[in-house]
Amino acid sequence: MAVALVALDYSRPIQPVFEQASRTGTVHSVFRKALNIVAGDTMLAVLSSELSRMPNSARLPAIVMHRLYTSLHPGMQVSIGDGKLLIPAIDFTLRLPQEPAWEPRPDVAAHHWHRVSIARHSRLLAQHLAQKARQDGLAPLAAPLLLRRPARETPLAQRALPLLQLLVRACRLEDSAGVEEAARGLVGLGPGLTPSGDDTLAGFVSVMALLSAQLCADALPREHLASIIASTAQPRTTRLSATLLAHAARGELAEHVGTLLTALALPVEESQMLLHAADRVLAYGAYSGGDTLLGMLLGLQALGIENTLHESGEYHGHTGVAQAKYLL
């Protein structure tokens, strides 16, 4: 039986993909709550309404996504364009609703950005991440990089730590070659459709793309550095990671990441709202959320936002993998 549905909502960047002439694509990957589709250089995500909106997504009811999960497999042919997504093998058609698209680029100009309160938020988030970070991925590096505390030594951490330091230093100096070198080393680092290095870069890029003009002492944007990272990643990582990094370089973020980024503008007294937004990020994926938050905090460092520990020079104890020679 033919199934024709209208999405519950969709992100603004995918609208042109539906409006263009129809072209052939394939099912890239299928999960219980998400379906990724590739057509040319475009990757479209069809998500369950249980998930946050993504910059390249349309969402469907959870029960529909479950049926698709049981019916689809990677490699199936699709066509997208002329107003619809068609999956011929299951006679499934998806169209976008008439309602306005969701905008994935946060309106940072609508908020007031104060460096002192953001520094305090950064310190709080670094402590929160260090407490909640899982042992896999790069999030545990919040301890040495942001708090000067010990971190468990792993091959992934040892490889990533100097690269993350280089990334922050190079961005501070607007050293394009250094930024590219760091991105080249980090991209694709770790397992998964979005490796840990990529998720950390995505968080970093989101801050560069959206907050540099608000937070840099010279008030000049650093979007060109975000673009360097995204273009360096494109041929070196998974299709999904490359897509999300390209969106992040344009300031187009997942809903939970955009909410946390704008929460940085909240007054210090509203720290519980900030932590609630951080928990939504941390809950995303096995460890993607923690890696993304680490990248955002390092992005703030690169823009000159130092948490109070660094400013006061407070530090006690041995740091293991994060000895003083590694610190920024």
Average pLDDT of span 143-161? 89
Q: State percent of the chain over pLDDT 70.
A: 93
Confidence band, pLDDT 50/70/90 cuts, at residue 152 = confident
pLDDT per residue over 74-102, tens digit each?
A: 999 999 999 999 999 999 999 999 999 99
Q: State percent of the chain over pLDDT 90.
A: 82
pLDDT at residue 311 tops 80: no
pTM of the model: 0.92
Question: Between helices 239-249 and 223-233, what is the axis angle to 10°?
Answer: 170
Question: Phi, psi at residue 246, to the nearest 5°?
Answer: -65, -40
For the record, the structure tokens of 136 come out as 């896999």
pLDDT per residue over 105-131, tens digit each?
A: 999 999 999 999 999 999 999 999 999
Residue 282 to residue 129: CA distance in whole angstroms: 8
**What 3-state class would DSSP assign to 77?**
strand
For the record, the structure tokens of 260 come out as 């946390």
Please report the pLDDT score of residue 318 as a whole number.
Answer: 35
Residue 192 to residue 173: CA distance in whole angstroms: 32
Domain ranges in the chain?
A: 3-95, 108-326
Confidence band, pLDDT 50/70/90 cuts, at residue 202 = very high
pLDDT at residue 325 tops 60: no
DSSP secondary structure letter of residue 89: G
Confidence band, pLDDT 50/70/90 cuts, at residue 307 = low
CATH class label, 3-95: mainly beta
pLDDT per residue over 270-297, tens digit each?
A: 999 999 999 999 999 888 999 999 999 9
Average pLDDT of span 201-212? 97
Q: Which of 127, 10, 51 is nearest to 283 (CA)?
A: 51
pLDDT at residue 144 tops 70: yes
Question: Between helices 155-172 and 288-302, what is the axis angle to 10°?
Answer: 30
Q: What is the mean pLDDT of the chain?
A: 91
Please report the pLDDT score of residue 94 as a whole number.
Answer: 98
Confidence band, pLDDT 50/70/90 cuts, at residue 313 = very low
Average pLDDT of span 180-197? 94
By residue count, the chain amounts to 328
Distance of CA 203 to the CA centre of its chain: 5
How much of the chain is in helix, strand and coil states, percent to nearest 5? 50, 15, 35
pLDDT at residue 175 tops 50: yes
Parallel, antiparallel, or unpaired: how do β-strands 9-10 and 3-6 relate?
A: unpaired
Residue 315 to residue 326: CA distance in whole angstroms: 14
Please report the pLDDT score of residue 11 as a whole number.
Answer: 98
pLDDT per residue over 17-32, tens digit each?
A: 999 999 999 999 999 9
Average pLDDT of span 227-254? 96
236 CB burial (10 A radius; 0-12, 13-18, 19+): middle
Parallel, antiparallel, or unpaired: how do β-strands 34-39 and 42-48 relate?
A: antiparallel
For the record, the structure tokens of 169 come out as 């230093």
Please enumerate in sequence order all residues whose Cβ is within 8 A of that of 122, keeping only pairs 6 or more positions apart, or say none.
146, 264, 297, 300, 301, 305, 306, 307
**What 3-state class would DSSP assign to 229?**
helix
